[in-house]
Amino acid sequence: MASDLRRVVITGCGVVSALGFDRITLFDRLLVGDNAVRTMPQWELPGATGTLLAAPLELPHEKILSLDRKLRRSMAPVAIYAVLAARDAIAESGLSDEELTNGTTGCAVGSTLGSPSAIHETMRLFHESGLENLPAQQFFKSVSHTAAFNVANVFGLTGALLAPCSACASGLQAIGVAYDEIRLGRQTIMLAGGTDEATPEVAGTFEQLFALAHPAPGQDAAEAIRPFDANRSGLAVGEGAAVFVLEERAHALRRGAKILAEIRGYATNASGRQTSQSDEGAIERCLAAALREASLQPANIHYISAHATGTRQGDLAEAAALARVFGNAVPVSSLKAQLGHTMGASGALELAVTLEMARRNTLLPTANLTAPDEACAGLDLLRQPRRTALRYFVKDCFAFGGINAVLVGEFSPPAES
């Protein structure tokens, strides 16, 4: 059976983020230390213990207007981000309209719960004006699969339509299920990735779970998110999207597409016992399963893009699992100190940056990591950019409910200096 499985490659990537609207700009700004996290005094919520932090993006109005007005009516920000990212991924991949619409191309785009801003607006309008005054398009902006179906409708996709809705693992699970669709021969091409919005209600949810960071007295907001650091206190919500073109390798080669990377393995599992805490044993099993599928050993991996949100318990569980599997031989870093936790988009956005790290032969560090927690010892935690060749990499994500997802990739094109 294994010999019948198809190889899956990435031939395009689009990005919408608080630090740039393509992966080159995003990488450059991360490299020089730019930080999107800031205080949000306008987000005062009843019961919050202090000013909320977030890493919001400011989308140029012309980008929104570049989308067809008729199609735009059913799009909340979460869908707009995904459609813009998908458009750039398609352009880089060079797919034709015929390839997009002939039934062999599908879509898998995940988000935490659809559009929180649209859900909030729907409830406000309903309670203030009643059902009869609720715009019909409001429902389509709110549903959990709004990003996925809008991507499919904008580009005329008639293949599989999937929308993982698994909190902060959504984007990576979307890429994983798209990978399976292709390697099992169900589809030839898939647009896959994640998208999410930062809103006061989302930040308030993390605040209620004691997971939101608050700056120490005199500390700047940009210094508050500190993954793996002894002084970490939590996360800041972020937003954005990343979408990839996944393609059967033989098909990509036949049409002369540039291959950015190959997906070598993927695994997802559940702890079976956790609601809000990460489980190091389940994470370890997920890492091992993804490596087995990739036919690789821990010693083969050159970089790990960690989930590491900056919460006390989450970072500890992930560090323990990574140390058990990889020891201190593999460089590890997290991007959330600069981008915030982009939730359902995080796995996809951080994978996009990893591809650029490989192309540049430069690993990005974890910002604000000045005093690594002794409990996270046993890892090669990057605190400065590091020049090195990167071929095999791991991207992991963990989510509420005990959900784990791990992707193993191979960067094969000649790297540029």
Catalytic residues: 168, 307, 341
Helix H or strand E encompassing 150: helix 146-155
Is the four-CA dihedral 405, 212, 281, 410 of positive or negative sign? positive
Burial class (CB in 10 A: 0-12, 13-18, 19+), 296: middle
350, two tokens: 């951080």
Beta strands in 292-412 (DSSP E): 303-305, 331-333, 362-363, 380-381, 386-387, 392-399, 403-410
Name which of 228, 212, 210 is nearest 335 in CA terms. 228
CA distances (Å), 250 to each of 5, 9, 123, 244, 292, in order?
Answer: 12, 9, 48, 17, 23
| Cα angle, residue 297 at apex, residues 293 and 298 outer, rounded to 5° | 115
Helix H or strand E encompassing 182: helix 170-183
CA distances (Å), 51 to each of 6, 218, 297, 312, in order?
Answer: 50, 14, 45, 20
Say how far apart CA 413 and CA 237 lie, in whole Å. Answer: 34
16, two tokens: 């919408």
109, two tokens: 């785009």
Provide the angle, in degrees to the nearest 10, between the axes of the packed helices 170-183 and 346-360: 70
Residue 242 region by backbone torsions, left for phi larger than 0, else alpha for psi between -120 and 50, else beta? beta
